[in-house]
Amino acid sequence: MVAEFDLINKYFAPLAAEGAADLQDDAATFSLPEGRDCVVTKDMLVAGVHFFQDDNPADIAFKAVAVNVSDLVAKGAHPVGYCLGLGLSGDEDDSWLAAFAGGLKAAADAFQIELYGGDTVKCPGQLTLSVTAFGDLAANMIVRRSGAKVGDLIYVTGCIGSAALGLLARQGKIAPHRSFEQSYARPQPKLEVISLIRDFAGASADVSDGLVADAAHIAQASGVGAYIHGNLVPVTAAARAAVRDKPDLLETVLTGGDDYEVVFTVAPHSAVEMEACAASLDLSVSHIGEITSDQRIFVADQDGNEISLANTGFCHF
């Protein structure tokens, strides 16, 4: 492997933002216009926990950026830049690093986000990444988890469950399917969702730990409950077929996580306008439930009976 600064100059300096001084300094600068706030988020990814050590390095890099962009989107913020902490296990060669840098470039192009710096270290045993991302929005306009009100409608963007099924396929537990594999390997948070969240959402969260868990995060932060219609949760045709063949996969779809869609609440009087706006942006949004006053999460089947879930979502500890 090349020396640290040679590595930075060869693979990462070409990706650097204008204020990053070609990554030749210990810090970078960027400015926001007056009346704008900077939104900051951080996610870590560890081999064996968030990805497989032998995953495609371009996919690992893309995902590391995408999961942070997803947090920004859910807050109604436009991505600006990120810093990368890269802990290399020592097994990565030049071809691995070139592919990894290619994944960063693909993410930069997809999400309009630039590299502002970071740190590269040796991390014996397992590859570890830490990304801190920065977003931009109008001052005091961040959409928190804590804004849900009783009677609000619960919506989710896109489709749910394919990434979790992709993980099972990667582990050899279910038959492989290209759409599952793509959802697992390269999450695609949608920048078009930003204006929808900004203009209509009372509360929002990205779906990273699992739909039920992230709806619960909103409910807990807001001091309310949630009623989720399990039969209204949007899934792809392939996911629907998988659940039909193995009904126990329904829990995986509802709780598996890694979707990086957005679950959000909307006041009933704004729902029609929000749906029309989503249609104009070519965004898929689905009404999946309501905010309640009983401070619990109730997931119902098509007959209104509660679906028993052994787990509600991913938890590190």
- For 87, the token pair is 């802990």
Q: Is the pLDDT of residue 25 over 80?
A: no
Percentage of the chain modeled with pLDDT above 70: 97
- Note the pLDDT of residue 22: 85
Q: How confident is the model over 113-139, as a mean pLDDT?
A: 92
Number of domains the chain is built from: 2
- Note the pLDDT of residue 244: 94
**Of the residues 138, 164, 184, which one is the last residue of a structural domain?**
138
152 and 265 housed in the same domain: yes
Q: Is the pLDDT of residue 92 over 80?
A: yes
99 and 27 housed in the same domain: yes
282 and 195 housed in the same domain: yes
312 within domain boundaries: no
Average pLDDT, the chain: 92
98 and 166 housed in the same domain: no
* Residue with more model confidence, 170 or 3: 170
- Note the pLDDT of residue 52: 85
Q: Is the pLDDT of residue 85 over 80?
A: yes
Residue type, 12: F
Beta-carbon-side half-sphere exposure of residue 149 (alpha carbons within 13 Å) = 6
317 within domain boundaries: no
Q: How confident is the model over 138-154, as a mean pLDDT?
A: 96
276-287 tens-digit pLDDT: 999 999 999 999
**Of the residues 138, 164, 180, which one is the last residue of a structural domain?**
138
Q: Which of 238, 250, 260, 230 is nearest to 107 (CA)?
A: 260
168 and 115 housed in the same domain: no
**307 class by beta-carbon count within 10 Å (0-12 exposed, 13-18 middle, 19+ buried):** middle
189-236 tens-digit pLDDT: 999 999 999 999 999 999 999 999 999 999 999 999 999 999 999 999
With tokens 């489709």, the residue in question is 159
Q: Is the alpha carbon torsion for 232, 236, 241, 243 positive or negative?
A: negative
85 and 165 housed in the same domain: no
Domain harbouring 85, CATH code: 3.30.1330.10
Q: How confident is the model at residue 47 (pLDDT cuts 50, 70, 90)?
A: confident
Q: How confident is the model over 126-142, as a mean pLDDT?
A: 94
Q: Is the pLDDT of residue 315 over 60?
A: no
- Note the pLDDT of residue 168: 95
281 within domain boundaries: yes
Q: How confident is the model at residue 314 (pLDDT cuts 50, 70, 90)?
A: low
Domain that holds residue 93: 4-138
Q: Classify 300 in phi/psi space as left (phi over 0), alpha (psi -120 to 50) or beta.
A: beta
12 and 134 housed in the same domain: yes
- Note the pLDDT of residue 316: 52
115 and 157 housed in the same domain: no
74 and 204 housed in the same domain: no
CA distances to 19, 42, 165, 197, 252 from 256, in Å: 39, 21, 8, 23, 5
19 and 153 housed in the same domain: no
**What DSSP assignment string belongs to the chain?**
---HHHHIIIIIGGGB-GGGGGG-SS-------TTEEEEEEEEEEEBTTTB-TTS-HHHHHHHHHHHHHHHHHHTT-EEEEEEEEEEE-S---HHHHHHHHHHHHHHHHHHT-EEEEEEEEE-TTS-EEEEEEEEEEETT----GGG--TTPEEEEES--SHHHHHHHHHTTSS---HHHHHHHHS----TTHHHHHHHH-SEEEE-SS-HHHHHHHHHHHHT-EEEEEGGGS---HHHHHHHHH-TTHHHHHHH------EEEEE-GGGHHHHHHHHHHTT--EEEEEEEESSSSEEEE-TTSPBPP-S--S----
Q: How confident is the model at residue 61 (pLDDT cuts 50, 70, 90)?
A: very high
- Note the pLDDT of residue 116: 94
125 and 151 housed in the same domain: no
114 within domain boundaries: yes
293 within domain boundaries: yes
Domain harbouring 237, CATH code: 3.90.650.10
- Note the pLDDT of residue 317: 47
Q: Is the pLDDT of residue 5 over 80?
A: no
Tell me whether strands 114-122 and 36-46 are parallel, antiparallel or unpaired.
unpaired
Q: Which of 230, 103, 242 is nearest to 162 (CA)?
A: 242
**Of the residues 138, 171, 188, which one is the last residue of a structural domain?**
138
